[in-house]
Structure 1
């Protein structure tokens, strides 16, 4: 955020339900006269159009999560990217809730910057994130942290002989998280073995089973969008009897891990789980809810 040149009166369009990491960096630019425009996309008839309508001639950047962290609502990135490219608005995507679960196409969707932590769907370790920055934009975003790893040959320790790195590695100033890289590399090997399409098919089968089963239980409601194009790997469940935190704790006693987020119970089954696992999860949640 601070590596770009901003002017008073510029604005950034985002959603009102971003994870703090994708809010704080942009909100901090208010001191430079930059306006942050949050849009409640879940109240809109069309989420993408609501974001587009919030833009004007002073919009410099659109910052969104490809999948919302609370309920799994999935945006159509191609539509947003096309408008951003046409209006010369930078398109920033936080993909942590999608990368490793469903296919993403950075170039096709005109994404200028894509970021994602590696510890969720990619099954890496905490403390390591991925960042993809378009080649043209790398000449615009200035590195704010300086260190020995940001040069073309980081092992040339004579400062007078160092040359600037032009790839996105120019933003990596310090010693990398080597253990995290090893863990992520092992995980990516599994993706190469099975294929991302196969992974996405497995995840969609899991979420479909949860939606179809839990959506028919009295007192439970599927809070996630159920349109196929809006579904992700996350299924959020609401209850008219129990607080989501109470449901989370009750499922733990069944050795089932879920998480309470935004007043909902968030379920995120991965590709290594299957039909029997989903049946066990549904049976346990129904038992907990009806006792």
Structure 2
């Protein structure tokens, strides 16, 4: 790949201390992105509002363009959010759902994707939580999309099984009944190539601190042009006249800033947009490398007689192997300087494109050693 693997690894200080296979939790920030964030903070330290005003010229247009290119969107469709929970709440409360409407999701979702939906029950909205299997999430959800369903909420990649969902298939069914599709891409943005126009998703959002390797507090939200013109919550930046600083002057902002109701974390999102810019030309190669590494992980785990939870034909960057006492195993691995996560009944190994096959092998051998 054009991004030299050895050179990129030099940007990740964490690998000098650990075998780091925990990108589905939090990724270490590359030095070049860290410097982008620090450069902004130093500018504020040395020049105060002079620097802030320069960076905020054109309403963060350059940052939006970087992220938009990364997901195949237009800059006017990209807003910055502090986390996925914020974005999901902004979307679901802006859709004017009511009694008789159904929101469809599933039991393998991360709580941040599901918990906000429960608030809709106060309006009489039915939250239908399907029980699904990792290898057939999209089929089960598609089969349950009927005329009452107004919104389908699903993760692109399952956090606790590693299963990749065919969101295009779900959208095709949703489109037939006029339902909208909200995709949580926090476990795929940065690992898989995303194209919102190709998949025709209506909403897509992600925090930046996982596969996008950005600081916590960074994140983006895509809202398809024409949707949610009037956001459910207002703040001082929701007005197109916000720079008048006049509480009696309000005109609804029509651009993506309408969802950024207050001051965003500029340094964190600068870092995220810089990473998006660097990864965009390499999206296909990065996806191929991520898939190759997870395939290697599955194969080697099976060769070592582990039960693999992740369906190989549905994998992304996450591989979950079933173990006894996963929390205890993860703690023992950390003592060996191997970073993974216990999830459910197994150990979650999440390999990014810069990891190596040797790192995977060492981790699996260490898990085997802990169990024996």
Is the shorter-chain TM-score for this pair beyond 0.5, marking a shared fold? yes
Give how far 1:136 is off.
1.6
Report the structure, 1 or 2, having the larger helix content: 2
Residue 11 (structure 1) aligned to one of 59, 79, 102: 102
1:78 and 2:183 matched: no
**For 2:237, which of 149, 156, 161 is the aligned residue?**
149
Check conservation: 1:85, 1:110, Cα contact below 8 A. no
Tell me what 1:22 maps to: 113
* Aligned counterpart, 2:179: 89
Shift of 1:56: 2.3
Give 1:160 deviation, angstroms.
5.9
Please state if 1:221 is matched with 2:307. Answer: yes
Cα distance, 1:153–1:272 mapped onto 2, change above 3 Å: farther
Whole-angstrom distance in 2 between the partners of 1:53 and 1:82: 12
Q: Is the contact between residue 206 and residue 221 of structure 2 (CA under 8 Å) also seen in structure 1?
A: yes
Q: Distance in 2 between matches of 1:41 and 1:237?
A: 19
Is residue 2:346 matched to residue 1:273?
no
Shift of 1:159: 5.1
Q: Distance in 1 between matches of 2:276 and 2:242?
A: 26
For 1:96 and 1:185, locate their aligned partners in 2 and report how far apart those are by CA, in whole Å.
Answer: 15
Per the TM alignment, residue 50 of structure 1 is displaced from its structure 2 partner at its CA by 1.6
**Structure 1 length-normalised TM:** 0.90
Contact 2:239 2:252 in 1 (8 A): yes
Q: Distance in 2 between matches of 1:81 and 1:185?
A: 27
Partners of 2:278 and 2:284 in 1: how far apart?
13
Q: Which residue, 204, 208, 227 being the options, matches 1:118?
A: 208
Are 1:191 and 2:191 an aligned pair?
no
**Cα distance, 1:58 vs structure 2:** 1.4
- Contact residue 37 and residue 54 of structure 1 kept, 8 A: no
Would you say the 8 A contact 2:252–2:258 is kept in 1? yes
Report the alpha carbon displacement of residue 281 of structure 1 after superposing the two structures with TM: 1.9
1:38-187 → structure 2 map (5 Å cutoff): 38-42=129-133, 46-139=136-229, 142-152=230-240, 154-158=242-246, 163-187=251-275
Question: How far, CA to CA, are the matches of 2:159 and 2:360 in structure 1?
Answer: 21
TM, length-normalised to structure 2? 0.71
> Deviation per CA, 1:183-212, whole angstroms, max 9, x where unpaired?
2133224314x6111211221121111111
Unaligned runs of 5+ in 1: none
Alignment CA distance shift 1:136-1:226 (3 Å): same
- Rate the CA distance shift 1:33–1:163 in 2: closer, same or farther, 3 A: closer
* Partner SS, residue 138 of structure 1: coil
What is the count of residue pairs matched by the alignment? Answer: 281
RMSD: 1.9
